[in-house]
Chain A
Amino acid sequence: MFISLLAVIALGCIAWLGAASGFQYLIGVVLPYAAVLVFIGGFVWRMVDWAKSPVPFRIPTTGGQQKSLDWIKPARLDSPFTTAGTVGRMLLEVLLFRSLFRNTSVEIQKGPRVVYYSAKWLWLFALLFHYCFLLIFIRHFRFFLEPVPFALTAIEFVDGIMQIGVPRMFMSDVLVVAALGFLLARRLFSEKVRYISLANDYFPLFLLLGLVGSGIWMRYFAKVDIAAVKVLTMGLVTMNPVLPEGIGAAFFIHIFLLSCLLAYFPFSKLMHMGGVFLSPTRNLPNNTRAVRHVNPWNPPKKYRTYAEYEDEFRELMEEAGLPVDKTSEEAAAAE
């Protein structure tokens, strides 16, 4: 845990020192380009690498009634029979975290009684984090588009509708910090989760907190020169990078942590974003008896044949009056 925290603090310091000692071009221009390339290249490589391994068996985890008799109502999404149902199941999984929504927690009470409680906090905060992050991501397009499309202004208006402070406080900023805080607190205070957590579980949390924190600091407190930042970001997207004067250090810390996140992403557990689409227990229909699934490496059949079986037990079978393919006489004559 501490190692991950120290690592993120160290990254922040590097960016701050770098910005202060003349490496602004490196941090503001070169690294972002490199990070984007690593992110795209790495993401594609990981997906292709996974996809190279075949899916030998169709093994959906069925979360409800199968389709069998006409009068029994199947669970079309939790146990999909069709492609459409499977797409629906995946959409529920990816957009609404269906499986996590099922979450319960168990407790053994006196009696003994094993009791199950609904436990949707993880679902709620996980969903909150992902959607806030998405919203913040979308909001950032204001720095890459000129003129800023109306849809973006509208999102910003809604996000800041509480009208607190100047500049207006975005709800997504508050919520994303709260959600990350919850996810971190769970790792620290839940015995089970703390026990399984690795440094590479804490690191992305701290990195994201650093990224979000530096963004908030820059917007609400340091109040960096937004116009200058936009000159830089527009330069980046138009492949015509320029480095305007007078952008505060906060911005360089922010963009450096973002670069780190992008470069780290494909090689970390954050790849669950792509991997979930390839999970064979979710992305396949429950129709294996109706439609044959082909295994590309299916080995040849090798089994003990009936003839071998009868050869061993023929006499016993005949004595018991069981039908045989070859009688003892026929078998003897064949030898």
Chain B
Amino acid sequence: MSKLPTPDKLIATIPAFPMEGWMDTKPDFKPGTWCYPAKVDNMKALGMPNPHEWSADQEDWNLPENWEEIIYEGLKSRLAKHRSLKVFMDICVRCGACADKCHFFIGTGDPKNMPVLRAELLRSVYRRDFTTAGKLLGKLAGARKLDKDVIKEWFYYFYQCTECRRCSLFCPYGIDTAEITAIARELLHELGLGIHWIMEPVFNCNRTGNHLGIQPHAFKEIVEFLCEDIETVTGIKINPPFNEKGHEIVFITPSGDVFADPGIYTFMGYLMLFHEIGLDYTLSTYASEGGNFGSFTTFDMAKKLNAKMYAEAERLGSKWILGGECGHMWRVVHQYMDTFNGPTPPKMEVPRSPITGTVFKNAASTKMVHIAEFTADLIKHNKLRLDPSRNDHLTVTFHDSCNPARGMGLLDEPRYVLQNVCNNYVDMPENTIREQTFCCGGGSGLNTDEIMEIRMRGGLPRGNALRYVQQKHGVNTMACICAIDRATLPPLANYWAPGVTVYGTHELVANALVMRGEQKRTMDLRQEELPGMEDE
């Protein structure tokens, strides 16, 4: 990993626009700007086309011999399959409204990170091959010939897009760069170009049921270990069910929550909540991943990994699925899952909270409920005893993850939950939250350390908004509802707003949750002293 510049230096080195036109500039594959290639073995095991050895910093990427044909045919078939792509290739007027909406453009100053130019990288090839004007007029009509440098450029810039869709919100025609990036990445995968940080989790998820490759026995062990920590903090012993048939609900969350700090505290929070309300649920080791890195490779891979959720609900005889805090998981669940793998198994039912009786009509077909919806409903119906003063040492703000914000509209539920479990809550400035939220800089499988400088640059708008509320309101806590955020926001906060700690929303819920039979809480879930709650 290359060394990170200081924040001041990073900003000072945002370059001016180049003099040459964008078709005449090439990306510089400096260390820290590109992701490591996927392992050939993983690509082979998943049946991905043309697996081969290559690396972005080398001159020759060892593309398959007929690579031009592969791209031409690949683009042609996708134009026929996705109206979105076809329309988005044709109707952009280059008004530039999207230009400064992209966190990567703001942080890198690289014109090709303006969403419009990111799309033009593909559009220029499309014009040349699929439009008459492009064939006749060439560069004059914004068309260019596909060559190996174009492929390199695609790789560089379509892996500097986190598919956050902020540009799409501002586009007068709703042109969605996430859609264009997803399809461009599909094309790159057809040439055997994938990245390790995405392909390894995909491989693992297919085999072991989760991105981290945790095998069933280890999964159970880790969760039981977390239960011991819960007992230390609360004095209550929880024995969560695994792979058990006949429970009403299957609970699925990103495996990052089981494995990585601070996600584990969020996971402990879920278990404590379920225990307290007596929820009839089971965990599954087979479907132990809510996230879906497949969705960062191809639509088919996303479908393949997602299929386990319904399959497991059917095998276990559960009525509906409750989903944990995660960003892209919810993009897939909310907008793709039912289309991919529905209709749901016949024995599944429209989700109904067994505690409050609320029927989640908004999930009537997909039969999967977001935990923020579920918990907000519990709190609204006064089903939880909460002592928010346990979080009084925290001044909390909330980071809307891109996918739940712009691919779902889950904005008020988590805020309602947070405002009920924390007494000190403030939002960041309005241009940086809710549907206008900024990416953490590491979405869509880019949360890998070898591109830390790019991540920090992309994290500038988010980090700066955080620093603003830190200085103005004394914010020391950023809550989120996303496992990738829990991995990416701590380094971001350290870099741009040191002193702010990142929490999952349900960790804060569990801190405030008054459980029947619990011992006096003197520690939070991280086993740090609760100020004012020490032994009196």
Q: How far is the CB of A327 from chain B (nearest CB, A)?
A: 14
CA–CA, A313 and B209, complex, Å: 11
CA–CA, A3 and B140, complex, Å: 9
In this assembly, does A326 line the interface, its C-beta being within 8 Å of a C-beta of chain B?
no
CA–CA, A51 and B84, complex, Å: 10
Q: How far is the CB of A225 from chain B (nearest CB, A)?
A: 38
Contact indicator B221/A53 (Cβ below 8 Å): no
Q: Contacts A59-B176, A323-B243: A292 and B206 contacting too (C-beta < 8 A)?
A: no
Contact indicator B94/A198 (Cβ below 8 Å): yes
Among A68, A93, A97, contact of B362 (Cβ-Cβ < 8 Å): A68
Contact indicator A288/B338 (Cβ below 8 Å): yes
Among B17, B339, B436, contact of A56 (Cβ-Cβ < 8 Å): B339
Q: Contacts A59-B335, A290-B362, A293-B338: A192 and B111 contacting too (C-beta < 8 A)?
A: yes
Q: How far is the CB of A54 from chain B (nearest CB, A)?
A: 6
Q: How far is the CB of A250 from chain B (nearest CB, A)?
A: 29
CA–CA, A215 and B108, complex, Å: 46
Q: How far is the CB of B165 from chain A (nearest CB, A)?
A: 6
Chain B residue contacts of A72, Cβ below 8 A? 376, 412-413, 416
Among B174, B300, B411, contact of A299 (Cβ-Cβ < 8 Å): B300
Among A71, A116, A201, contact of B431 (Cβ-Cβ < 8 Å): A116
Contact indicator B206/A278 (Cβ below 8 Å): no
Among A195, A279, A288, contact of B174 (Cβ-Cβ < 8 Å): A279
Interface of A is mostly: loop
In this assembly, does A21 line the interface, its C-beta being within 8 Å of a C-beta of chain B?
no
Q: How far is the CB of A201 from chain B (nearest CB, A)?
A: 5
Chain B residue contacts of A299, Cβ below 8 A? 300, 303
Q: Which residue of A lies closest to B300 (CB)?
A: A299
Contact indicator B84/A59 (Cβ below 8 Å): yes
Among A52, A197, A201, A275, contact of B90 (Cβ-Cβ < 8 Å): A275
Contact indicator B97/A100 (Cβ below 8 Å): yes
In this assembly, does A238 line the interface, its C-beta being within 8 Å of a C-beta of chain B?
no
CA–CA, A301 and B208, complex, Å: 18
CA–CA, A270 and B234, complex, Å: 65
Chain A residue contacts of B244, Cβ below 8 A? 323
In the complex, number of A-B residue pairs with CB atoms less than 8 Å apart: 321
Chain B residue contacts of A68, Cβ below 8 A? 360, 362, 373, 410, 413
CA–CA, A162 and B101, complex, Å: 41
Q: Which residue of B lies closest to A321 (CB)?
A: B220
Chain B residue contacts of A267, Cβ below 8 A? 132-133
Contact indicator A269/B86 (Cβ below 8 Å): no
CA–CA, A128 and B322, complex, Å: 49
In this assembly, does A137 line the interface, its C-beta being within 8 Å of a C-beta of chain B?
no
Contact indicator A303/B170 (Cβ below 8 Å): no
CA–CA, A297 and B77, complex, Å: 12
Among A62, A103, A301, contact of B407 (Cβ-Cβ < 8 Å): A62
Contact indicator B338/A289 (Cβ below 8 Å): yes
* 0 or 1 for each of A49-78: is its CB under 8 Å from B? (1 = yes): 111111111110111111111011111001
Chain B residue contacts of A295, Cβ below 8 A? 339-340
Contact indicator A63/B132 (Cβ below 8 Å): no
Q: Contacts A59-B407, A93-B172, A288-B339: A199 and B304 contacting too (C-beta < 8 A)?
A: no
Q: How far is the CB of B190 from chain A (nearest CB, A)?
A: 16
Within 8 A of B (CB), among A272-321: 272, 275-276, 278-282, 286-295, 297-299, 301-306, 309-310, 312-313, 316-317, 319-321
Within 8 A of A (CB), among B184-238: 206-209, 215-217, 220-221
Among B85, B172, B220, B341, contact of A100 (Cβ-Cβ < 8 Å): B172
Among A65, A199, A309, contact of B409 (Cβ-Cβ < 8 Å): A65
CA–CA, A52 and B83, complex, Å: 8
Q: How far is the CB of B463 from chain A (nearest CB, A)?
A: 9
Contact indicator A61/B168 (Cβ below 8 Å): yes
Chain A residue contacts of B1, Cβ below 8 A? none
In this assembly, does B129 line the interface, its C-beta being within 8 Å of a C-beta of chain A?
no
In this assembly, does B258 line the interface, its C-beta being within 8 Å of a C-beta of chain A?
no
Q: How far is the CB of A167 from chain B (nearest CB, A)?
A: 34
In this assembly, does B173 line the interface, its C-beta being within 8 Å of a C-beta of chain A?
yes
In this assembly, does B5 line the interface, its C-beta being within 8 Å of a C-beta of chain A?
no
Q: How far is the CB of A286 from chain B (nearest CB, A)?
A: 6
Contact indicator A61/B11 (Cβ below 8 Å): no
Q: How far is the CB of B427 from chain A (nearest CB, A)?
A: 14
CA–CA, A232 and B140, complex, Å: 37
In this assembly, does A240 line the interface, its C-beta being within 8 Å of a C-beta of chain B?
no
CA–CA, A304 and B360, complex, Å: 30
Among B17, B142, B220, B412, contact of A322 (Cβ-Cβ < 8 Å): B220
CA–CA, A65 and B434, complex, Å: 9
Which of these binds chain A: B33-41, B61-69, B114-122, B260-268?
Answer: B114-122
Q: Contacts A62-B407, A302-B304: A269 and B216 contacting too (C-beta < 8 A)?
A: no
Among B206, B220, B339, B409, contact of A57 (Cβ-Cβ < 8 Å): B339
CA–CA, A286 and B331, complex, Å: 12
In this assembly, does B14 line the interface, its C-beta being within 8 Å of a C-beta of chain A?
yes
Chain A residue contacts of B83, Cβ below 8 A? 50-51, 53-55, 278, 280
Within 8 A of A (CB), among B367-397: 368, 373, 376-377, 380
Chain B residue contacts of A289, Cβ below 8 A? 333-334, 338, 362-366, 368
Contact indicator B172/A53 (Cβ below 8 Å): no
In this assembly, does B423 line the interface, its C-beta being within 8 Å of a C-beta of chain A?
no
CA–CA, A254 and B26, complex, Å: 44
Chain A residue contacts of B406, Cβ below 8 A? 61-63
Contact indicator A192/B100 (Cβ below 8 Å): yes
Q: How far is the CB of B166 from chain A (nearest CB, A)?
A: 9
Chain B residue contacts of A58, Cβ below 8 A? 335, 339
Could you pull out 30 A-B pairs where Cβ atoms are within 8 angstroms? A50-B90, A51-B83, A53-B85, A59-B407, A61-B165, A61-B174, A65-B412, A66-B411, A68-B373, A69-B373, A99-B169, A104-B101, A108-B14, A116-B431, A122-B97, A196-B96, A196-B111, A268-B133, A272-B173, A280-B174, A282-B174, A289-B365, A289-B366, A292-B342, A292-B343, A292-B365, A295-B339, A295-B340, A299-B300, A310-B286
The 3 lowest CB-CB distance pairs between A and B, nearest first, are A66-B409, A320-B217, A275-B91
- List 20 additional A-B contacts (Cβ < 8 Å) besides A72-B416, A114-B460, A298-B340: A53-B81, A53-B85, A56-B299, A57-B335, A59-B84, A62-B406, A69-B380, A79-B409, A93-B174, A122-B97, A195-B117, A196-B99, A201-B94, A279-B91, A289-B363, A290-B364, A292-B339, A301-B341, A303-B307, A304-B206
